[in-house]
């Protein structure tokens, strides 16, 4: 029963997908172990991935920052920070988790499994960073950086060429939650035009502070524009 529970994480399959051989298999298994699993299986004495996620966050940041610093020699600090913010967002990291089949090999508690934790963005993003932490401990920074840059290369090129579709709502939420536990709230404050050509005006607020407005042909587009304006007002993004 114990082996059956733990082997829900297919380590050999993970190694093949990563293209990396781990001498310490437990390290790789820990990277895909959500805290809910050991909480529900205390007798297994298995560690969750939170410490590896903490380490991997720094490894990812340094790898991306170093690459951008060397590649974009004429870019100011602000531009580098914008590019990095997109690349290390939860949305992008969750996408990488799916690409690496981490979602299929997570060790989750029964409660998280039932409530869709295997596809939850925050869990997937954390597991990706935990993998980076495990790679760093197993192979060192040079190899971990090489893996990360290879994984993000297409995204980096898209961002630098202006082709990347920025998720401003995600960026805004992650920005404000660094210093606050509050979440930006979006409200339609005006609807313009006939039904077949309606425009929506959305305002985003944080607590009682109005951060920005946006207009679009759909509520979703208006929210994105409002989030972008908020980022500009917070000096995170400059007008393009």
pLDDT one-digit tens code per residue, 63-72: 999 999 999 9
Check whether 48 has a pLDDT greater than 70.
yes
191 carries a ligand binding annotation:
no
Per-residue pLDDT, 60: 98
Query: Residue 204: beta bridge partners?
Result: 186, 212
Check whether 240 has a pLDDT greater than 60.
no
CATH number for the domain running over 2-161: 1.10.1520.10
Give the catalytic positions in this structure.
57, 129
Average pLDDT, the chain: 88
- Residues 1-29, mean pLDDT to the nearest whole number: 81
165 carries a ligand binding annotation:
no
CA 35 to chain centre: 18
- Residues 3-10, mean pLDDT to the nearest whole number: 62
Handedness of CA 57, 50, 236, 239 (dihedral sign): positive
Asked: is 168-233 a CATH 3.30.160.20 domain? The reply is: yes
State the Cα–Cα distance between residues 129 and 135, nearest whole angstrom.
Answer: 10
Enumerate the H helices of 115-202 as residue ranges: 121-139, 141-161, 168-176
240 carries a ligand binding annotation:
no
- Helix or strand holding residue 215 (H, E): strand 209-216
Structure tokens at 81: 């920070």
Q: In what side-by-side order are the strands of the sheet with 185-192? A: 185-192, 199-206, 209-216
Per-residue pLDDT, 4: 54
Residue 216: φ, ψ to 5°: -160, 170
Per-residue pLDDT tens digits for 161-219: 776 656 788 788 878 877 777 889 999 999 998 876 788 999 999 888 899 999 988 88
Per-residue pLDDT tens digits for 102-114: 999 999 999 999 9
């Amino acid at each position: 029963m114990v082996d059956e529970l733990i082997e829900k994480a297919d380590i050999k399959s993970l190694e093949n997908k990563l293209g990396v051989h781990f001498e310490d298999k437990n390290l790789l298994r820990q990277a895909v172990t959500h805290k809910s699993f050991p909480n529900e299986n205390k007798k297994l004495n298995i560690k969750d991935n939170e410490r590896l996620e903490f380490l991997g966050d720094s490894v990812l940041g340094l790898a991306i920052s170093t690459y951008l610093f060397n590649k974009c020699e004429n870019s100011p600090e602000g531009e580098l920070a914008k590019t990095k913010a997109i690349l290390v967002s939860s949305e992008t990291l969750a996408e990488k988790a799916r690409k690496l089949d981490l979602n299929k090999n997570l060790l989750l508690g029964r409660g998280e499994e039932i409530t869709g934790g295997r596809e939850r963005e925050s869990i997937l993003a954390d597991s990706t960073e935990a993998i980076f932490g495990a790679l760093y401990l197993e192979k060192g920074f040079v190899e971990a950086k090489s893996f990360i840059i290879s994984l993000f290369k297409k995204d980096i090129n898209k961002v630098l060429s202006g082709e990347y579709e920025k998720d401003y709502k995600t960026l805004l939420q992650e920005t404000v939650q660094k210093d606050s536990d509050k979440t930006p709230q979006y409200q339609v404050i005006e609807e313009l035009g006939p039904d077949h050509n309606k425009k929506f005006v959305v305002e985003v607020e944080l607590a009682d502070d109005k951060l920005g407005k946006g207009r679009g042909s759909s509520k979703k587009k208006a929210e994105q524009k409002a989030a972008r304006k908020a980022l500009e007002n917070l000096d995170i993004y400059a007008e393009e």
